[in-house]
Chains A and B, each alone.
Chain A
Amino acid sequence: MSAAPLYKPAPRDPARSFQDMILTLHDFWSAEAGCVILQPYDMRMGAGTFHTATTLRALGPEPWNAAFVQPCRRPTDGRYGENPNRLQHYYQYQVILKPSPSDIQELYLKSLSAIGIDPLAHDIRFVEDDWESPTLGAWGLGWEVWCDGMEVTQFTYFQQMGGFDCKPVAGELTYGLERLAMYIQSVDNVYDLAFNASGVSYGDVFLENERQMSKWNFEVADTDALFDLFAKAEAECRNALSAGVPIAAYEQAVEASHVFNLLQARGVISVQERASYMGRVRDLARSSCEAYAQKMTPEWEAKYPEWSLV
């Protein structure tokens, strides 16, 4: 029996392939920061920050380094596939490093150079941008990172999550993958991006999806059913909370948040109602984070005797 031919992967080519850029980032964060490379959370959400690997893991004293791609859904940003820069579904690349390492900025800049951005050819800047998510009871300080004037990454030191001080503080990096790729590949239209190096474009993969989903988000989605879904998610979140399973509760909060975004896109929530719905989502998310932190606290305190939740 002859041995199977030895497999040798082709070198990554982030300048010509969207997926190679992602794979390069995976390679980089796996090797340089010992990150676990996770897969996307299997739910519809508005931002990578909602992934439990970010929100819930930002709580508590235990170190946690993770990197993952998260598809994000922003129904109101849909443009029926007609705008070269705006999508109702796009990708974020999230890195969460807890506690924030002292060389986190250097690591980040190195990751940019790994995907082909030379900081002497391109003007990289850290511009103040503080982050706040009332929905998650969270805030942090940091920057938006500019590359030749374009915001390519959100860089945040989490200070609070779920209303609790982060102890320790986590550093969160959120790369806008399509924007970065458009930059690296020098294309002006997102649908022209090379998805891989074998001739498949981003448009081949997603253009029809954008058309149909924009139509559904704005025109088709049954609003009665959405209101119903919202109410059910809210009720289920409470149910899970009272049963002591806050992760399940948190998922329902994420669900409610997305359904609310769909209702917004359908234009059926008035200005006055909007604040009330946002308050309800906030209440669910915060309660879930709080319940999670409280449930985990005995375990955390046992491992870290110096540590306390508040």
Chain B
Amino acid sequence: MADFLLELRCEEIPARMQPKAKEDLARLFADALAKAGLPVGEIETFATPRRLALIAKDLPLATEAVSEETKGPKVGAPPQALEGFLRKVGLTAEQLVERDGVYFAVVEKPGRDTAAVLAETIPAIIRAFPWPKSMRWGEASLSTESLRWVRPLSGIIALLDGAVVPCEIDGIASGRTTMGHRFHHSGPVAIADAGSYIETLRAAHVVVHFSERCKLIRDGAAKVAAEAGLTLVADEGLVIENAGLTEWPVPLLGRFDEAFLDVPPEVIQLTARVNQKYFVCQTPDGNLANAFVCTANIDAIDPAVVVDGNRKVLAARLSDARFFWEQDQKTSLADHAQKLARITFHEKLGTVANKVERVAKLARWLCEEGIVAGDPDLAEQAARLCKADLVTEMVGEFPELQGLMGGYYAAKEGLPQEVAEAIRDHYKPVGQGDDVPTAPVTVAVSLADKLDTLVSFFAINETPTGSKDPFALRRATLGTLGLGLTNLNQLPVERIAEAVIEIWLESILYEPHAITQTLSGSDLSPGKHDPEYVLSGAYENDLRDGIQSLKEFTTDFFADRLKVQQREAGVRHDLIDAVFALGGEDDLVRLLARVHALQAFVTTEDGTNLLAGYKRAANILKKENYPVTPAQAGAQNDGAELGSGLRRNDDGAVELSYTPEPAEKALIDALDAAAPRAAQAVADERFADAMAALATLRAPIDRFFEEVTVNDADANKRAARLALLARFRDAVHRVADFSRIEG
């Protein structure tokens, strides 16, 4: 048994690539060992800016001998088949082994020295290494066939049990020497064996463990902050990035001019983090402090010199940020918004200004219709300004501050707080787990923005397919659902879709447009279309059909996303299906309330038994090929639905041509009472009451099946009883399609 060390030394590896490179090295190495028949034990990997390394423990010194057997043709197979097989395995007929009437080629492979296996493996790993981007360099690059690596590769250490495993790739021969820290150590460093690698490099000022450097940075940064009486704002992404930029990390705290604190803290933090990879700190009262922590790669002769240099750079960056902050405020958001007319939203959907106009109208409509309980004037005002920050200098520099900056600028302008908040938060919720806004004006603007995006893209046939969702429409849908289900009593998507389309049609009244082209399915481009067609009723009809199918598509799309979302939240998918199958309901808030009521009901004893009774009735009807009235939510019973053989008398009671048995009569009475009650409850959105009404049918249906024979010899009775079961089934269907419920 022996330990193996591999170090691939090169010029500075991008920080972001190091964690993945460690994984790739371990995987490629383990695969190569397994392929060679070597047991894979413990593998540890290391990455610094200048090296990628691996230590594999307890490798055997040789592979075991193996016997490889390949199955060939049957004895007596045509000679061509045998010849082909011999060619493939490279043996002669005499060397084949015959067993059970089949030829086998058996090749004995003797064990090999592990060192020999490794000598082949190392160049293969280097050539196959999946760097996200790799390059050529040096004299060899005269040919494009030359070696590729993330940056020029300069040395290889390969030591098995302390002995060099000799190999070579593109003129770089393996050995035992490496380099220490670029500035703290000069000359080559010889490594004795795998066991002494880490400590030998530490003596040469290199902390080779990625995770150890992370810890040095994490703890060291917190420590220098604490020493200054501050709290470090933890940022694990920065820890990892700085660990990828240093071999000897030394966190240092510096101060910047307090005057910069006028700039919003998010801007300062982003400037420090993105441009300079600095941490920021908080004062004991939780405000941003005028301090930063940078991570040097040296024990500087005088750390103050390094800190001062970094301070100057940050100051230059922050003065740019302050310049943007002040410059942006010289123009009102309303004036900034004018410039949105120059930004294309989508080639077929016009400019961002066009979009803002529609969102403003829709936000107002949502409030006026009472769908959102917000002030229509404030919602419209916020919507008109919500995208204005896209043309500010600050958002140009830091796109991730969109919304936030608009909120700040609105507050500075003295706009109503609701408006400033709506501008700030209207992109939310951005993903799973993001805060869902609850302020009514914000909800109106956020919903309007998302719904306009969704319906508009659907209208031009830009819908997500498979993993492709370039306009993040699924995310917008989930955001809409989050907003609606958290805040609203209703979310009638079909009605909203209709409103979006109406707003669209108002804005393009006299012009052929991509929207109307796609919706009507007609080419309306100049010179192409027949003017008479456009003026004719045919075009009107085509357009109307297109709008209808767009509304239906939108409702279905939302229903699908809601199903996915609820399933992920642990709601039984059969119950979701049972409610959604009813159709005719575009209000997602109501649909969901019904799913929840159904879930509560089917888990009770009454629910379970009613379901059993329903299934029995449905099976009998199915056997008889009895016509099924499509399940439909809350539809009222009327005479026509009674089915053949059942008739109502003048008092509205069901009339039969014979005297019903008591159990039969009891079911008729129970249905007479329960069916309208359930239907009314559904219509009134009292879903628990609808379930309670259904529950009253449970005892009568059980008794009916116990005491009454459906398949009576009297054709009249048989027909009437089938019709009664159909009535029962239909009454249940008013609430949910029970045929979809499992169990």
Asked whether B133 is an interface residue with its Cβ less than 8 Å from the other chain, the reply is: yes
Asked if A85 is an interface residue, CB under 8 A from chain B, the answer is yes
Judge whether A121 is part of the interface by a CB distance below 8 angstroms.
yes
Whether a CB of chain A sits under 8 angstroms from the CB of B182 is yes
Closest to A124 in B: B183
When distances are taken between beta carbons in the complex, the residues of chain A under 8 Å from B14 are: 128
Are A99 and B144 touching (Cβ within 8 A)?
no
Output the nearest chain B residue to A119 by Cβ-Cβ distance.
B183
Chain B residues contacting A168 (CB-CB under 8 Å) are: 136, 138-142
- Interface: A32 (CB within 8 A): no
What 0/1 readout, one digit per residue, does chain A (110-150) give for beta carbons within 8 Å of chain B? 00000000111111111110100000000011110001111
- List A residues 154-182 near B (Cβ within 8 Å): 157, 159, 165-169, 171
Which of B16, B300, B309 is close to A128, meaning CB atoms less than 8 Å apart? B16
B residues 641-673 near A (Cβ < 8 Å) are none
* Nearest CB on A from B311, distance (A): 9
Chain B residues near A171 (CB-CB < 8 A): 137
Residues of B within 8 A of A121 (CB): 300-302, 305-306
Q: Are A304 and B312 also in contact (CB < 8 A) when A126-B11, A272-B344 are?
A: no
Is the Cβ of B142 less than 8 Å from the Cβ of A167?
yes
**Stretch in contact with the other chain, from B87-95, B291-299, B483-491, B501-509:** B291-299
What sequence of 0s and 1s flags, for each residue 339-367 of chain B, a beta carbon within 8 Å of any chain A beta carbon? 00011100000000000000000000000
* Interface assignment of A183: CB less than 8 Å from any CB of chain B: yes
Q: List A contacts of B182 (CB < 8 A).
A: 109, 119, 124
A123 x B297 contact (CB < 8 A): yes
Q: Tell which of B135, B184, B294 touches A149, judged by Cβ atoms closer than 8 Å.
A: B294
Contact of B344 with A149 in the complex, beta carbons under 8 Å: no
Name the B residues within 8 Å of A165 (CB-CB). 144
Contact of A126 with B138 in the complex, beta carbons under 8 Å: no
Instruction: Name the residue of chain A whose CB is nearest to the CB of B244.
Output: A128
CB contact list, B64-108 vs A, under 8 A:
none
B49 within 8 A of A: yes
Q: Contact between B11 and A105 (Cβ–Cβ < 8 Å)?
A: yes
A121 to B305 Cα, complex, angstroms? 7
Q: Known: A61-B142, A122-B305. Is A157-B137 also a contact (CB below 8 A)? A: yes
**30 sampled A-B residue pairs with Cβ under 8 A:** A61-B142, A84-B316, A99-B137, A101-B138, A105-B11, A118-B301, A120-B300, A122-B300, A122-B305, A123-B297, A123-B306, A126-B11, A127-B245, A128-B12, A128-B14, A147-B309, A148-B305, A148-B308, A148-B310, A149-B278, A157-B135, A157-B152, A166-B141, A167-B142, A167-B143, A167-B144, A168-B142, A183-B309, A271-B344, A304-B142
Q: Which residues of B contact A148 (CB under 8 A)?
A: 305-306, 308-310, 313
B133, B305, B343: the one within 8 Å of A130 (CB): B133
Residue in A closest to B139 when the chains form the complex, CB atoms: A99
Q: How far is the CA of A85 from the CA of B316 in the complex (A)?
A: 8
Check B541 for interface membership: any CB of A closer than 8 A: no
Flag whether B15 is at the interface (Cβ < 8 A): yes
Instruction: Determine the distance from Cα of A121 to Cα of B297 in the docked complex, in whole angstroms.
Output: 11
How distant is B134 from chain A, measured CB to nearest CB, in Å? 8
User: B310 — which chain A residues lie within 8 A by C-beta?
Assistant: 123, 148-150
Against A, the Cβ 8 Å flags (1 = close, 0 = not) of B274-304 are 0010100000000000000010111011100
Is residue B47 within 8 Å, beta carbon to beta carbon, of the partner chain? no
Most-contacted residue by chain B among A127, A141, A149 (CB, 10 A) = A149
Is B443 positioned at the interface, with any CB of A under 8 Å from its CB?
Answer: no
The verdict on B379 contacting chain A, using a C-beta distance below 8 Å, is: no
Inter-subunit contact B316/A120 (CB<8 Å): no
Residues of A within 8 A of B142 (CB): 61, 99, 167-168, 304, 306-307
Given contacts A119-B182, A127-B12, A150-B310, 17 further A-B pairs with CB under 8 A are A85-B316, A100-B138, A100-B152, A102-B152, A102-B154, A121-B306, A122-B300, A123-B297, A141-B150, A148-B313, A150-B312, A157-B135, A165-B144, A169-B138, A169-B141, A270-B342, A306-B143
Q: Considering the complex, which residues of chain B in the window 122-165 have a beta carbon less than 8 Å from any beta carbon of chain A? A: 133, 135-144, 150-152, 154
Interface residues of A in 288-310 (CB under 8 A from B): 304, 306-307
Measured CB to CB, the residues of B under 8 A from A are 11-12, 14-16, 49, 133, 135-144, 150-152, 154, 182-184, 245-246, 276, 278, 294, 296-298, 300-302, 305-306, 308-310, 312-314, 316, 342-344
Whether A119 contacts B298 by the Cβ 8 Å rule is yes
A219 part of interface (Cβ distance < 8 Å): no
* A143 (CB) vs chain B CBs: closest residue: B12
Cross-interface CB contact of B138 among A99, A123, A270, A271, cutoff 8 Å: A99
State whether the Cβ of A188 lies closer than 8 Å to any Cβ in chain B. Answer: yes
B50 nearest CB neighbor, chain A only: A126
Please name all residues of chain B whose beta carbon is closer than 8 Å to the beta carbon of A130 when the two chains form the complex. Answer: 133
Chain A CB within 10 Å, residue with most, of B136, B144, B296: B136
When distances are taken between beta carbons in the complex, the residues of chain A under 8 Å from B276 are 149
In angstroms, Cα B308 to Cα A150, docked, is 11
Task: For residue A271, give the distance in angstroms from its CB to the closest CB of chain B.
Answer: 5
Does the CB pair A159–B136 fall under 8 Å? Answer: yes
Give bound CA distance, A149 to B137, whole Å.
27
User: Of residues 185 to 232 in A, which have CB atoms within 8 Å of B's CB atoms?
Assistant: 188
Please indicate the chain A residues that have their CB under 8 angstroms from the CB of B11 in the complex: 105, 126
Bound CA–CA A183/B313 (angstroms): 10
Q: How far is the CA of A82 from the CA of B175 in the complex (A)?
A: 57
Residue of B nearest to A188 (CB): B312
Q: How far is the CA of A128 from the CA of B302 in the complex (A)?
A: 26
A182's nearest neighbour on chain B, judged by CB, is B312
How many Å lie between the Cα of A63 and that of B182 in the bound state?
Answer: 28
**Shortest CB–CB separation between residue A59 and chain B, in angstroms?**
13
Given contacts A99-B141, A100-B137, A126-B49, contact A141 B343 (CB under 8 A): no
Chain A, residue nearest B144 (CB): A165
Docked Cα-Cα span, A141 to B152, in Å, equals 10
Indicate if the CB atoms of B309 and A141 lie closer than 8 Å.
Answer: no
Min Cβ gap B267→A in Å is: 18
Other-chain residue from A118, A120, A125, A307 in contact with B184 (beta carbon distance below 8 A): A120
Chain A residues lying within 8 Å of B141, measured Cβ to Cβ, are: 99-100, 166-169
Distance in angstroms from B327 CB to nearest chain A CB is 12
Which residue of chain A has the shortest Cβ distance to B301 in the bound complex?
Answer: A121
Contact A126 B12 (CB under 8 A): yes
Complex CA distance for A142 and B343, rounded to whole angstroms: 34
Cα distance A126–B655 in the bound complex, in angstroms: 93
Distance A119 CA – B301 CA, assembled complex (angstroms): 10
Cα(A101)–Cα(B141), bound, Å: 11
Whole-angstrom distance between the Cβ of A278 and the nearest chain B Cβ: 16
Would you give the 0/1 interface string for A75-102, flagging 1 where the beta carbon is closer than 8 Å to chain B?
0000000001100000000000001111
CB distance from A244 to the nearest CB of B (A): 27
Which residues of the other chain, B, contact A101 by a CB distance below 8 angstroms? 138
| Smallest CB gap from A159: residue in B | B135
Q: Which of B143, B246, B302 has the most CB of A within 10 A?
A: B143
A122 touches B306 (CB 8 A): yes
> How many angstroms from the CA of A119 to the CA of B14 in the assembled complex?
20
Assess the A169–B137 pair: CB atoms within 8 A: yes
How far, in angstroms, from A171 to B139 measured CA to CA in the complex?
A: 11
CA distance A192 to B212 in the complex (A): 44
* CA A121 to CA B299, docked complex, whole Å: 9
Could you tell me the distance between the alpha carbons of A100 and B153 in the complex, rounded to whole angstroms? 13
A119 to B141, CA, bound (A): 31
B300 lies within 8 A of A125 (CB): no
Contacts of B312 in A (CB 8 A): 150, 188
How close is B322's CB to chain A, nearest CB, in angstroms?
12
Q: Within the assembled complex, what's the spacing in Å between the Cα atoms of A307 and B12?
A: 30
Bound CA–CA A85/B317 (angstroms): 10
* B133, B276, B313: most-surrounded residue (chain A CB, <10 A): B313
A128→B150 CA distance, assembly (Å): 11
Contact B135–A141 (Cβ < 8 Å): yes
List residues of chain A with CB within 8 A of the CB of B135. Answer: 140-141, 157, 159, 169
B219 to chain A, nearest CB (A): 20
Shortest distance between the CB of A71 and any CB in chain B (Å): 22
State the Cβ distance, A191 to closest chain B Cβ, in Å.
Answer: 15
In angstroms, Cα B11 to Cα A188, docked, is: 32
Cα A166 to Cα B16 with chains together (Å): 26
